[in-house]
Structure 1
Amino acid sequence: MRNISDTLARLAALRAAAPGAGSEAIPSVLDTLEGFGTNPGALLAKYHVPAGLGPQAPLVVVLHGCTQNAAGYDHGSGWSALADRAGFAVLFPEQKRANNPNLCFNWFMPEDTKRGGGEACSISEMIGAMLLEHDLDPARVYITGLSAGGAMTAVMLATYPELFAGGAIIAGLPFGSARSMPEALDRMRGHGGPDGKALAALVREASGHDGPWPTVSIWHGTADHTVAPANMDLIAAQWHGLHGTGAAPHGVEKTGNHTRSIWRGGAGGVAIERHEIAGMGHGTPIDPNGPDGLGHAMPHMLDIGVSSTALIARSWGIADTGLAQTAGRLLRMIVPAAAAPVAAEPQGTMQRAGGVQKIIEDALRTAGLMR
């Protein structure tokens, strides 16, 4: 067991490295959700519903990291901006300092990570209120988060799996890997904890769920010194057992420093994605100057030319009618009909300089869809 001085030193290091310093001052488009339930975890709830959103739209739940708030993470990631373009609602649970001085979700505390209690229950109540008040589609609820928010995403997928069609865990940790602050700090460093089979059993025991499991997208940088990249593999191992896949991926594609591995479930669709970003530190990968123009670079919102927000939304099928199709329509307008057809490229393979890509980018700027 770690002694108290070692634990305090690790906490100080975590505080110094935590994402989102100064996010309290960022202007926000988010509204406050009031009276959403018993709220045993004493959380706040922020949300954004695009003007004119039709009935039965999807809902994305977004969990910020330590020292961040909802407005800061929204500004950095661009989720509300994408919601306006693609037509879905966004819910941002928000931590309070009274619960955690560093504004971390308490993903390692047993009372906050069980079905029917604590922060996990509060988040489930927010989701229920959003579905009812805004006539959203209960079959298309998704969740994502960074760091402690990523670990809390894993908690929600385990304790309330029936609520979610899919989840995306960014620089997070597997559910059930820690049950105290000292254990949490060790797991963040990649030390100790249950193995993959035991981790899968913890998820099964968390809810008694007997239906289909949510899909899982896992994102991590290889140079993350806050949450060790070993946790990426542990999360994948936890969900291999649940989705009945083997350890070897069914496909791997690499674009620059971004490697995506996929595992297909019993129905043939992608059940698990693993996104490894070579050389990236602790944070959410964004691409504010790319084709989607989402997010803003700030502490632990990392401009590395990969928009996790856009790619996650597209993997869930909730942004397919956004900029990707707009770009195709603009391209067909600009390229003469007699020109050779342009083959669709996989996610992330387009290069920014020259040729067809420059035509698309110029057209998007002209249309006001890209800076």
Structure 2
Amino acid sequence: MHPQFGQLMAEATALTRAGDLPAAMAAITAALNGSPVAAERVQEAPGHNVIDVVARVVEEAVAPPVARPATAPQGERFLTGHYAHHAGKRDYRLFIPATRHDKPRALVLMLHGCTQSPDDFARGTRMNALGAEHNTLVLYPAQTRHANSQGCWNWFKHNHQGRNRGEPALLADMTRHIAESHGVDPGHIYVAGLSAGGAMAAILATTHPDVFAAAGVHSGLPAGAARDLPGALAAMQGQAGSGLAGTAKSEVRMIVFHGDADATVHPSNGERVVAAHGGTAVSVEEQHGLQHGNRTCTRRLHKDAQGQVVTEQWRLHGAGHAWSGGDPSGSYTDARGPDASAEMMRFFLQT
């Protein structure tokens, strides 16, 4: 995101109310893509072109040294790879736990937020340590600055919201290929993301329920919340837009985290994500005043007729736009807790 994200979004709101949509769109573009605010320069960010190549995986190799790289615990591997698909191509980082069994127990796809990188996201979420503990692969694809100048997944574009094209097709096929290559049971593949990554995780849960058995959305938005930049602004402010949010339903199990002091993505989006999932829920168990670390939370368990949790919702009181319980060495983290990574892994792996 742009360093003056909040100010630019406030300006865009005022301009929209004043009826100056070109200037408002310029401010939105600057906020989301980091570009200068100039109405004549407003255009859809790159990323809609399709590269027509055969899907393939480039041989993995240990990543070259980078500043403050994410690390793997002793005996584990954290590799760099590249995946090409008809919908595009992306680099990725892949955590592989030490060999303790014939094959990994599961795979978790982790989608970073705007301005983040796989290494940054791995550090901030500490998901590699959980992967080592639970014998689970963790896959971190990297958004390119060509597709989005601020490294955001393009959740708000109509051409990245369907099953057979754009980023959902690319990410799902990448995940499926990695899982097959490492012998992961196809019934134990999961996805989680933060902010724009959380919004894309919600899209994948809707477009590819045959690939992802469960999803985690942290500070994100529901699938189809917007189809363009003005819609993105409205959705992030908590206004139900004209997108697909009312019809993009999914039965994929979901765990949702959202701070009730989030000034970037309005907390009501957490409620909308929950509403779009777990349609088989017939009862809700609400737990108030939970103390996790230095933060109070409310947790809601949405259960089906058999008493199984289909959607788990965490409302983090006083929390902003950051990964809960994250490592301060990563960006957009809130160390006060609860530990969203641990809770997501628990939710994913429970039967």
Asked if TM exceeds 0.5, the reply is yes
**CA spacing shift, 1:15–1:277, aligned 2, 3 Å:** farther
CA drift of 1:129 comes to 1.4
1:106-255 correspondence to structure 2 within 5 Å? 106-193=154-241, 199=245, 201-203=247-249, 213-240=251-278, 243-245=279-281, 249-255=284-290
User: How many Å separate the matches in 1 of 2:106 and 2:331?
Assistant: 29
The percentage of aligned residue pairs carrying the same residue is 29
Which letter maps to 2:148? N
In the alignment, what sits opposite 2:334? Answer: 302
CA drift of 1:142 comes to 0.9
Per-residue Cα deviation, 1:159-191 (whole angstroms, up to 9, x for no partner):
001111111100000001111112111100112
1:46 to 70, 80, 93: 93
Pair 1:3 & 2:49 matched: no
User: How many Å separate the matches in 2 of 1:14 and 1:118?
Assistant: 19
CA drift of 1:223 comes to 0.7
CA drift of 1:192 comes to 3.0
Pair 1:269 & 2:308 matched: yes
1:26 to 38, 48, 68: 68
More strand by share: 2
User: How many Å separate the matches in 1 of 2:182 and 2:338?
Assistant: 31
User: How many Å separate the matches in 2 of 1:253 and 1:122?
Assistant: 40
In the alignment, what sits opposite 1:97? Answer: 145
SS at the partner of 2:249? helix
2:322 to 266, 283, 290: 283
TM-score scaled by structure 2? 0.77
CA drift of 1:202 comes to 2.4
Which letter maps to 2:247? A
In the alignment, what sits opposite 1:317? Answer: 349
Report if the CA contact (8 A) 2:104-2:136 is conserved: no
User: How many Å separate the matches in 2 of 1:33 and 1:59?
Assistant: 16
User: How many Å separate the matches in 1 of 2:100 and 2:207?
Assistant: 29
User: How many Å separate the matches in 1 of 2:213 and 2:33?
Assistant: 33
**CA spacing shift, 1:42–1:185, aligned 2, 3 Å:** farther
SS at the partner of 2:210? helix
Which letter maps to 2:289? K
**CA spacing shift, 1:45–1:53, aligned 2, 3 Å:** farther
In the alignment, what sits opposite 2:109? Answer: 61
Structure 1: 5+ residue runs without aligned partners? 17-23, 205-212, 288-294, 321-371
User: How many Å separate the matches in 1 of 2:272 and 2:170?
Assistant: 26
CA drift of 1:11 comes to 4.1
Query: CA RMSD of the aligned region, Å?
Result: 2.3
CA drift of 1:283 comes to 1.1
User: How many Å separate the matches in 2 of 1:48 and 1:160?
Assistant: 23
Matched length: 291
TM-score scaled by structure 1? 0.73
User: How many Å separate the matches in 1 of 2:100 and 2:128?
Assistant: 13
User: How many Å separate the matches in 1 of 2:99 and 2:69?
Assistant: 22
SS at the partner of 2:155? coil
